[in-house]
Structures are given as structure tokens and as C-alpha cells.
Chains A and B, each alone.
Chain A
């Protein structure tokens, strides 16, 4: 089995050189069923599964984080992508659970700067791509990698109020 990075892994930055890249490539290869010694041609980027995400926000036994990647959003901060993501947020029915502009409905708010499963671009990508167990559907199969990054760009662009922690019903002092 070839453990060298396949081309689709190159778009992800590795936080642990070597091991992470290799694991990423292995995962991608397994998910693609590409178990040949040398793939005849690199798989198309849209069809490649992303690597496992390294959750820096998790506690780790003996402070040793398991290997994993922190893929970077190739479209981060691009205004046209944010706009396209806003449209996708509606057409993919994200607003049906997370509310208009991600304000929260049966699904949690996405506009409070708080995250159940991590707020890094990579963690938000993983949540949308693979889904989450409390009913968040996996959209990776429907949207592909580029579509999910487009949504990540929009979600991460939502403005967060300055003081989210305090809600007061007293008149201002």
C-alpha cells in the first residue's frame, strides 16, 4: 500500500509533518478503495475524501494529540465565496434547522462564536461534510469538498455580537 500523499492531500496543511500526511493519504486511499500500489492517475479533487481532522480543542491523554490534519479553507475570506455560501445555506435547507443567518432554531446557533464540535475551519468542515450525531445530516455526499468549503466560508463570516455571555433585564447602570 502506497503511503505517499496523493495529490488531494496537498491542499491540507499538516500540523504534524509526516505522520499526519501519511494518515491522511491512507484514509483517502482507503475510502477511495484505491489499494493498488500505484494509482494510474490521481483521483479528482471533488471525489477525494478529506483527512481526519485534528481537534486541538480536545483534551489529549498525556498531552499527545493523535495524528490528523488541519485542512485550510482554500476559499477563506473570499467575498464571492461567502456570497455563494449564503445562497447554499438556503438552497441546502440549512436555515430550516439553524434559522435564518444561522441564528439558531432546532439546531444550534451558528452566529454566537460558540461551537459544539470546534470552530476552526477544519472542524466546521468536518461537521458539515460528515454530519453530527444529534441529527446534523452529512452533506459531503451531496455537496462535495468545494461545496462544503463554500458553506464554511459563509458560516465563519457570520458576525458575532460583542458580548454573547451576558443577558441582562436590568436597566443599564
Chain B
């Protein structure tokens, strides 16, 4: 599955590659995907076959790992609409596939979920789940829990009415649709089953929005979903409220920028917690909800750990949704702290943006977040540490009144970025979620946009925007190995055991994604689109350009 396990710990139990021998890591194989969009997500390896989903046009490659050179067993080229390229806010990315019941499940950017036979590559079903005309697209990775394929849609910049859907694994039929805002009936909130830790009342998804603004309020689902089979709950984060001008939607705007826990069977909402009430900074909460069993204050806790775009890292009790720990993991000044009694951030009113506020300066983090939700972290049960990429960017913000026109962006803001305190624009950290403290940090010159892999060999892997793939010591952060992979890394490393019994590590190169839209001078493929470098990153195009490559490393 995309996150290595249901809890998305991205921990590999393989240990042949360790902190002593990782300096001998070398590239063993590579393959050009032929696609130029941002290569987020990760390969899947099942039954000696490696599956790779590309960004739009969402080709699915199946590589035979038993033969020299890993030739393709087949490739699947779905009919996917080119309109998706413009309906998607933030590049043509895809965040990966899920394997279940002998089939590969993934989303096409144009709003379809497909099931493909993992052996033959034949399409079993295709279901339209999202409406591009309404600004909905589907880059996220599905999750299969029981016989439900759970999917959501992007469109927080298009004023969508955000939702989560469950499809029948066998047939692709839509079983339930749960909105993330709006009336209780639309949200699948049923009397007696919804127990939010800090809120009470009915129709909060309506009453926390001025006028009828919930109807175009956003709350997209574009990150990943996790699942606890024992509690039988799925967990996912919702994105920003729309439009960016928060004055058009007075109130908390529930349940945008929140984590929601639902039953996979019928979609019933069990609890919800809002990280950023009345979001005015584009602080999506779509980053992964990592599930791990921790010991806090001597007590075992079924925890959910989340690195939010708003710069706080949260440790929650995943049965109740109560916040146990909330502490800044990135440069942050929009709030002073999180009140654990109420769960609410203590907001600095001078950092509140809005059409009446003019230019609000020096807000940290920027709307790219303390970490991108598309850069999932990892957890090692050996070191008891979490690992994640971080961004160190701040922004000025000018927000204006936005008009809703269906199928067009619903944003209206200008947000120039600058490097945060220290001058480095990114980094990589190890985090103790029981205390809310950093264990170590490696600074990076550029924002760090890759996902994370940690292994039982106590090696952590991540990539950088200027195209270095790095292995570092899980206990100290010391650099063990690095290699320039040909394009910036925005994908997620993963590890697998090959048919020969050896441990390998795979990673995509292929710069792109949300940040890239503001830094368009790394695009070389379109002679009709030539842009000046972004002021906050004048030098990135000197070091990398577009191009998707799958890499495999080993000893």
C-alpha cells in the first residue's frame, strides 16, 4: 500500500542496508517514465512486480523484477481528459496506487478511479467519482479498507463542496458519499455515533459558515488516508477553506483544515478535530495522519501523529480525537500555541489575512506549509522517532474579494515567499511526538518536498528539490550517502526485497508539484511558456529541470 502499512508509517522491516554499509549504496537501475509532471507518490512492489503510476496521463507500468533489466510485463494507458491539466490547481501529480484483491487501484486526474488486474494489466472497472466542471480532480492515492475503496477529490482552490466516497472493491459502484462540510445528513453524521472531542451541536458544517458559504467552502481530500483495523476507523485530513478571503466566510468553517475519523463500512463520522479554525492562510490539513502506538507519560497511547501545514505537529489520541501534544516543528508565527483544554490555536490577530487587511507581512509558514501534505513523514518503532521533510518559508499576503464562477479558480490572493529564519529554505527533521521536540535537524538550501522512508537498518531516505537522493543515519541525521538523480525529488522513497533476496530502495526523480507553479523557470519543454525565476528561489533552475525517472538503489 502507498504508506507501507495501514498506519502509513513508511517503515520497512528490511535491514540489509544499515548505517554501517549505506555509504556503499549505488544506483542499479533507472527508467524514464516519459512524463514531465511532478512525480509524487511511490512505486508499489507486489509479487516480484513493481507498479509505477505516472503523473497525468496516468500511465501504469508493471516491471518484471525477475528478469535482467526489469522489462515491462505490460503498461496500461487509460483514456484521461487533457482538461484535467487545467482543472487541477497544482500540477498534474498522482500520489500512488493501492494493491488489494489481485488488483491495482488508483485515480486518474480527471476524476475517475480505476481497478486494473495486477497480473494482466486489463481494466476491471472505471468509475467517475469527481466532476471536473465543478473544479474537482483526483490526484490522491486511494485506500482500501475491508471491501471499500476510499477516495477523495482536490479543488480547494475551485470552491468545491468537498467529499469522501467509498466504492465497492469488486464492482466500482459508489457505496456512500460523505461531505466534509454542510448539513449533518450530507456529512453522514448520525445521532449517537458522532462524538467530537471539543465541539457540540448539530449541523456545525452549516452554522460555522456565514450565509451559505459552506456550499463553495472547499475541504478537499488530496493527501492520504490511514486505517486502524482494531478501532475500525479511517482517518483523513481536509484541505483549506475557500475562498482565501476568510471575510467571505465568517466562522470556524468546519470541517475544513481538520482530521475526520469515519467507519469504512457506512461512512459514519465518529469524531472530527479542526487544526486551523477559520483558515486564512491556505493551511490544508491533508498531510498524512500517521498511526503509531506510543508511550506518553508512562501510559500506552494509540496515537495519531500529524505534521500540519500550519507548522504545528500534533499527537492525538486516535480513539477520541483529543490533542495530547501540539508543538511547532517549523518556523511559525500565526499562532502562539495550541490550548490543549479547548484544542484551539491561540492566534496572533496581526497575522490574520483578509480583503480588508491590506498587505499582511511576514507570516510563517507560507501557504506551502511547514511541510507539504504531499511529502509524507515516517515512523520507526526502533528509534521511536518520526521523520519528515520541512519547509522554512514565510510570506506576505494580499487577499481580495473572490467571485465564484463554477469551474474556475476561487482564490484571489497574492503571496510572495521569502526564506524563513536562518535563511535556509528547507530541511529534514527527526521528531519525538511524545514530547513535541526535535531530535535532530539537517538543514537544506531548498524547500524539502520528498516523502520519507525509514528502515530497520536505522537508515532514513529522502530527496531534495535540487535532485539529491540522500541516506542519513536515523539516530543522528548524519549523511551516509547521496546521489544526483537527474531531476528534483518530490516523490516518496520505498524499500523492497527483490526476487534475489536482496534489499533495494526505489525513488522517483521528477520535479513539480504545487511549489513549482511559482518557480516556472525550471520548465524547458514548452517554448510558449517562458517565465522569470521566482524571487525566493532564483537558482533552482540552475540545478534541475523536469523529467520523470524511476531509480532503484542497492548495495
Contacts and interface: CB of A to CB of B under 8 A. Distances in A.
A51 to B, nearest CB: 24
B82 A109 contact: no
Interface stretch (B99-107, B299-307, B349-357, B515-523): B515-523
B180 interface: no
Nearest to B158: A96
B4 interface: no
Contacts of B531: 103-104, 109, 112
A135 B403 contact: no
B206 interface: no
Of A93, A116, A137, which is in contact with the most chain B CB atoms at under 10 Å from its CB? A93
A158 to B, nearest CB: 13
Interface string A125-168: 00000000111110000100000000000000000010011010
Contact of B411 (A96, A103, A115, A135): A96
Interface residues of A, number: 30
A91 B528 contact: no
Contacts of B532: 103, 161
Nearest to B530: A112
A106 B91 contact: yes
17 contacts: A91-B403, A95-B412, A96-B408, A96-B410, A97-B409, A104-B531, A105-B518, A106-B86, A108-B526, A114-B530, A115-B528, A134-B83, A142-B405, A161-B532, A167-B533, A167-B541, A169-B539
Contacts of B526: 108, 116
B373 to A, nearest CB: 17
Contact of B520 (A93, A104, A114, A137): A104
A77 interface: no
A10 B279 CA distance: 52
Interface string B408-427: 11111010000000000000
A167 B521 contact: yes
A135 B530 contact: no
Contacts of A39: none
A106 B89 contact: yes
Interface in A79-122: 90-93, 95-97, 100, 103-109, 112, 114-116
Contacts of B84: 135
B385 interface: no
Given A90-B412, A167-B533, A107 B405 contact: no
A109 B520 contact: yes
A55 B402 CA distance: 35
Nearest to A135: B86
A169 B89 CA distance: 30
Interface string B357-378: 0000000000000000000000
Nearest to B416: A100
Interface string B499-521: 00000000000000000011011
Nearest to B518: A105
A82 B205 CA distance: 42
Main secondary structure of the interface of A (DSSP, over half): loop
Interface in B520-545: 520-521, 526-533, 539, 541-542
B530 A105 contact: no
Nearest to A160: B530
B530 A93 contact: no
A135 B405 contact: no
B511 to A, nearest CB: 15
B83 A135 contact: yes
A109 B530 CA distance: 7
Contacts of A133: 82-83
Contacts of B527: 114
A135 B82 contact: yes
A165 B528 CA distance: 11
Given A106-B517, A135-B82, 20 more contacts: A90-B400, A90-B412, A92-B405, A93-B403, A93-B412, A95-B412, A96-B157, A97-B86, A97-B409, A104-B531, A106-B91, A107-B86, A112-B528, A114-B527, A114-B528, A134-B83, A134-B86, A136-B86, A165-B530, A167-B533
B248 to A, nearest CB: 14
A82 B402 CA distance: 21
Contact of B90 (A103, A104, A106): A106
B87 interface: yes
Nearest to B137: A135
Nearest to A118: B528
B114 interface: no
Given A104-B531, A167-B521, A137 B408 contact: yes
Contacts of A95: 409, 412
B466 to A, nearest CB: 13
Contacts of A142: 405
Contacts of A165: 530
B444 to A, nearest CB: 19
A164 B411 contact: no
A98 to B, nearest CB: 10
Nearest to A164: B530
Contacts of B528: 108, 112, 114-116
A116 B405 CA distance: 25
Interface string A20-44: 0000000000000000000000000
Given A109-B530, A112-B531, A93 B409 contact: yes
A116 B529 CA distance: 8
Q: Which 10 A-B pairs have the closest CB atoms?
A: A135-B86, A96-B409, A108-B529, A93-B408, A114-B528, A116-B528, A112-B530, A134-B85, A169-B542, A104-B531
A142 B412 CA distance: 19
A92 B533 CA distance: 26
B262 to A, nearest CB: 31
A138 to B, nearest CB: 10
Interface in B244-294: none
